[in-house]
Structure 1
Amino acid sequence: MIFSKEYVGYLARQTVKHLVAEKMIETGKPAILNERVAAAMIDELSLEDRINDEVRVILEAFQDDMRKTGASYPEMFKKVKTELARKYKAVL
């Protein structure tokens, strides 16, 4: 993840604070809402990390074939990552 969890928590608090101030949402328990928003943000931001891990597993399974054909690891990584992002409907 490109952001620290502390920063994501800060972003979540600021988001909730802004939404409450603009009367877009109401909450009696802002601390719980902050936690839920932070968890959702962390989950979304860590999607790229999970996709990268899956790409590594896939390429590891095909490393012998890649060596035989002379395929470039960085190129294959990028192609597989693009396909997985499309599969998960992720914007990276």
Structure 2
Amino acid sequence: MIFSKDYVGYLARQTVKHLVEAKMIKTDKTAVVDERVANALVDELSLEDRINDEVRVILEAFQDDMLKTGASYPEMFKKVKNELARKYKAVL
């Protein structure tokens, strides 16, 4: 993830604060909403990390074939990552 969890928590608190001030949401328990928003943000922001891990596992399985055919690891990484992002309907 490109952001620290502390920063994501800050972003969540600020987002909730602005939503409440704009009267887009109503809540008496802002701490609970802050935590839920922070968890959702962390989950979304860590999606790319999970996709990268899955790409590494896939490419490890095809490592021998890639060596035989002379395929470039960075190029294959990018192609597999794009396919997985499409599969998960992720915007990276």
Which category of TM-score, normalised to the shorter sequence, fits these structures? over 0.9
**How far did 1:52 drift?**
0.1
Structure 1: any 5+ residue segments left out of the alignment? none
| Equivalent position of 2:40 in the other structure | 40
Structure 2: any 5+ residue segments left out of the alignment? none
| 2: CA distance, partners of 1:8 / 1:69 | 43
| 1: CA distance, partners of 2:21 / 2:28 | 13
| 1: CA distance, partners of 2:76 / 2:70 | 11
**How far did 1:84 drift?**
0.2
| Equivalent position of 2:21 in the other structure | 21
**How far did 1:32 drift?**
0.5
| 2: CA distance, partners of 1:15 / 1:33 | 10
| Equivalent position of 2:83 in the other structure | 83
| Equivalent position of 1:61 in the other structure | 61
TM-score by length of 2: 1.00
**How far did 1:20 drift?**
0.1
| 1: CA distance, partners of 2:64 / 2:58 | 12
| 2: CA distance, partners of 1:27 / 1:69 | 59
Corresponding residue pairs, total: 92
| Equivalent position of 2:7 in the other structure | 7
